[in-house]
């Protein structure tokens, strides 16, 4: 009964392809996030959704399109993949959002490799 | 410019040592600070969360402190064990959650 689960865990694809990563949380949290961890291990926020509504979009190229069908799911779709998109993408959730961000719970990550 | 900085970037200690990991942040607007552990190829596990009104939190052998005035947090690990080997990240919650670069800890048997 994983709290935050992501699929797939590994993804290898060619440049120019379109791919999706799915995330689900069973914690009853209102807020979900996508983070990108680059090769230097820095974690950067990409998107934040609160109850299906986008609240943070951190200058991410519009090739990245998050979709939240309900507050328990936040999927990430990436169009026209580029080499620089290779990274580990983490989904996370928290009870609260905004300036009083509560404790974050992370998924295990999805390692994307673009060839 | 890195808003949240962790020093050292890597640390190797013999088993049993007490150690301190440092986290500093430049923006004094902080609502809470969270320490995470990341094992290789794994996600992040929350260790401790310190609210801005608190000065420290303890969980087992871990103690985290927060000093907003100096922009610092420390994670103290007592009696380190090989199983503590991992990367430790701090994250500051201001208008958003900002992560430090992490400290890679190796505890040798």
Q: What tens-digit pLDDT sequence spans chain B (109 residues)?
A: 568 999 999 999 999 999 999 999 987 778 889 999 999 888 889 899 998 888 999 999 999 999 988 999 999 999 999 999 999 999 988 767 789 999 999 999 9
What distance lies between CA B109 and its chain's CA centroid? 22
Partner-chain contact A109 B45, CB within 8 Å: no
Residue B44 has its nearest CB partner, among A40, A45, A106, at A106
Chain A touched by B4 (CB under 8 Å): no
3-state secondary structure of B24: strand
Is A19:A110 a contact under the CB 8 Å cutoff?
Answer: no
The Cβ-side half-sphere exposure at A114, using a 13 Å CA radius, reads 16
Closest residue by Cα to residue B66 from B38, B36, B92: B92
By CA distance, what is A42's nearest residue in B? Answer: B101
* A105 Cβ under 8 Å from any chain B Cβ: yes
Could you tell me how many CB contacts below 8 A there are between chain A and chain B?
A: 59
The pLDDT-based confidence of A100 (bands split at 50, 70, 90) is: low
**pLDDT (average), residues A72-93:** 95
How far is CA A65 from its chain centroid? 10
Other CB atoms within a 10 A radius of the CB of residue A104 amount to: 23
């Amino acid at each position: 009964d994983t709290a935050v689960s992501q699929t797939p865990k590994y993804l290898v694809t060619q440049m120019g392809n379109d791919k999706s990563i799915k995330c689900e949380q069973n914690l009853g949290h209102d807020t979900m996030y996508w983070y990108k961890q680059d090769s230097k291990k820095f974690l950067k926020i990409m998107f934040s959704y609160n109850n299906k509504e986008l609240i943070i979009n951190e200058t991410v190229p519009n090739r990245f399109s998050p979709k939240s069908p309900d507050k328990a799911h936040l999927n990430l779709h990436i169009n026209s993949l580029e080499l620089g998109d290779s990274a580990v993408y983490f989904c996370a959730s928290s009870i609260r959002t905004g300036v009083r961000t509560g404790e974050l719970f992370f998924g295990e990550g999805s390692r994307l490799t673009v060839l | 410019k890195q808003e949240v900085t962790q020093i050292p970037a890597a640390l190797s200690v013999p088993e049993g040592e007490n150690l301190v990991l440092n986290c500093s942040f430049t923006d004094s607007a902080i609502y809470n600070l969270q320490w995470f552990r990341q094992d290789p190829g794994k996600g992040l596990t929350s260790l401790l969360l310190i609210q801005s009104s608190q000065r420290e939190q303890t969980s087992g052998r871990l103690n985290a402190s927060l000093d907003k005035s100096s922009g610092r947090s420390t994670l103290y690990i007592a009696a380190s064990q090989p199983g503590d080997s991992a990367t430790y990240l701090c994250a500051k919650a201001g208008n958003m959650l900002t992560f430090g670069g992490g400290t890679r800890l190796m505890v040798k048997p």
